[in-house]
Amino acid sequence: MYRPLIRNTASHCAVAARPIACKGYASSATPPPFNWEDPLNAKSLLTEEEIAISETTEAYCQERLLPRVLQAYRDEHYDKTILEEMGELGLLGATIKGYGCAGVSNVASGLITKAVERVDSGYRSGMSVQSSLVMGAIDMFGTKEHKDKFLPSMAKGKLLGAFGLTEPNHGSDPGAMEAVAKPHPTKKGYLSLSGSKTWITNSPIADVLLVWAKYHETGKIRGFLVERSQCPPGTLETPAIKNKNGLRASLTGMIHLDECPIPEANMFPDVEGLRGPFSCLNNARYGIAFGITGALEDAIARARTYALERKQFKGNPLAKYQLVQKKLADATTDAAFGTLAAIQVGRLKDMGEEAPEMISMIKRQNCDRALWNARVLQEIFGGNAASDEYAIGRHVANMYVTQTYEGQSDIHSLILGRAITGVQAFC
Ligand SMILES: Cc1cc2nc3c(=O)[nH]c(=O)nc-3n(C[C@H](O)[C@H](O)[C@H](O)COP(=O)(O)OP(=O)(O)OC[C@H]3O[C@@H](n4cnc5c(N)ncnc54)[C@H](O)[C@@H]3O)c2cc1C
């Protein structure tokens, strides 16, 4: 069994306070050994609590998730009891304080996503939607009633969430969405929600769907909590999107709302416009930027093992050849740089000093570099890369999606370009 996360308030937010032992410049005759699994000693930047959370989550993921992922990916199956297991460990909504959540630092929550994504980006996606996009939104924008009603069961993984922003005609440009909430023609105190959302993680199994739609009176975007159990037949459909090329271990679907009655009280009261969805996306994008380094590290570890074991030309291991070594050097460098950048942004988040553009920067950089490197590492496996048993093809296919969702990399380039030049280039 795994220990649930226990919050040690003393070491919660700050960088581990350690005495600085001055050994003098270049005084050591034997420099510390290079650790290819943590080349820049990112661990030295973590608190004891963060290290313990990381180790607990890594152990759970390697022992319980890894054995399931190959079959889940083949069958395009998501076992929703995974969220209950994660809930028991305190991994869901981990940064939220109260409501049965662990209340850990943003760096600790990044380490959780990294451990899960080391196994599979789809498992991390299912968790991120629950934690950052739905629980996070309720915590940020919900009323006390929303929080009391939804957060404790969501923290346990007993109530599942989905986040509906993307529409069939509006992906990168959600401001142009067509979903709309109008007064309900017959039910007093209710709104009538209509519209379609697509590519929505967890939608086929979600109990509560956070749907973003334009409010009739103002034309501004508002957030609505749609409870599946309260929707009359025919007003809510959530068909699965089957036969995906990537993220097959997570469930993705559509949301169709046809004059669905929603209590007015289920609308987030005070947030309007794109600030609502984008605030939630910021947290989730941070999780992706941190998490994807786990998937890249897994690709590196697998490619390294393969390169050491596979022999070609006079019985030499592939690892002996310079071109192969360069591929591993490039990927290892990018994983290490990406991890440090994610920790830095996490620390700034803990202090409330992160700019959204910082998150765009690490989401774009870490996802782009992970995809590029994993695609190159795939070559080390030769023909065997075509077999799903070697996992590398699964990571590459998943990484395409991580580079695409929650703002495709080119969109994050435009966000950064706007911040650098002051000139808007979206339209
Ligand atoms: C497996 C999966 C799970 C997902 N889960 C969710 C979810 O849970 N909730 C949710 O709301 N959405 C989800 N999405 C949707 C995802 O966020 C969108 O696919 C993404 O935002 C891109 O939108 P689009 O697919 O409509 O592409 P488009 O917006 O049509 O873009 C296509 C291409 O054009 C480029 N482009 C667009 N506009 C510009 C421009 N102005 N300048 C330069 N280039 C531009 C884009 O960068 C992209 O490369 C998911 C997607 C996938 C694949």
Query: Is pLDDT of 235 > 50?
Result: yes
What is the chain's mean pLDDT, rounded?
94
CATH assignment, 39-155: 1.10.540.10
Q: How far away, in angstroms, is 189 Cα from ligand 1 center?
A: 35
Closest C-alpha to ligand 1, atom 26: 171
Residue identifier of the C-alpha nearest atom 49 of ligand 1: 408
Q: Where in the chain is the domain with CATH 2.40.110.10?
A: 161-266
Q: Is the Cβ atom of 172 under 6 angstroms away from ligand 1?
A: yes
pLDDT at 16: 45
pLDDT at site 172: 95
* Per-residue model confidence (pLDDT) at position 2: 65
Whether 370 contacts 288, CB under 8 Å: no
Mutate to test the pocket of ligand 1, among 241, 411, 414 (most ligand atoms within 8 A of CB): 411
Structure tokens belonging to residue 262? 């929603």
How many A from CA of 122 to the centre of ligand 1?
17
Give residue-wise pLDDT tens across range 150-186.
Answer: 999 999 999 999 999 999 999 999 999 999 999 999 9
With contact defined as beta carbons under 8 Å apart, do 292 and 121 qualify? yes
**Which of residues 19 and 64 earns the better pLDDT score?**
64
Annotated active-site residue 357? The verdict is no
Work out the percent of the chain whose per-residue pLDDT is above 70: 93
- Delimiting residues of CATH 1.20.140.10 domain(s) in the chain: 275-421
What pLDDT does residue 23 have? 53
- Cα of 415 vs centre of ligand 1, distance in Å, is 15
Single out the catalytic residue among 58, 76, 354, 406. 406
Residue-wise pLDDT tens digits, 103-125 = 999 999 999 999 999 999 999 99
The superfamily in CATH containing domain 161-266 is: Butyryl-CoA Dehydrogenase, subunit A, domain 2 (2.40.110.10)
Answer whether CATH 1.20.140.10 is correct for domain 275-421.
Answer: yes
User: Which residue's CA lies nearest to atom 40 of ligand 1?
Assistant: 426
- Say what the pLDDT of residue 26 is: 59
* Per-residue pLDDT, 159: 98
Tell me the pLDDT tens digit for each residue of 187-234: 999 999 999 999 999 999 999 999 999 999 899 999 999 999 999 999
Q: What is the pLDDT of residue 427?
A: 82
Per-residue pLDDT reduced to its tens digit, 133-156: 999 999 999 999 999 999 999 999
Question: Which pTM value belongs to this model?
Answer: 0.94
| Cβ neighbours for 109, distance < 8 A, ≥ 6 positions apart | 94, 95, 131, 287, 346
Q: Is any ligand 1 atom within 6 A of the Cβ of residue 198?
A: no
> In this predicted model, what pLDDT tens digit does every residue of 252-302 receive, in sequence order?
999 999 999 999 999 999 999 999 999 999 999 999 999 999 999 999 999
pLDDT tens by residue, 24-64: 555 568 889 999 999 999 999 999 999 999 999 999 999 99
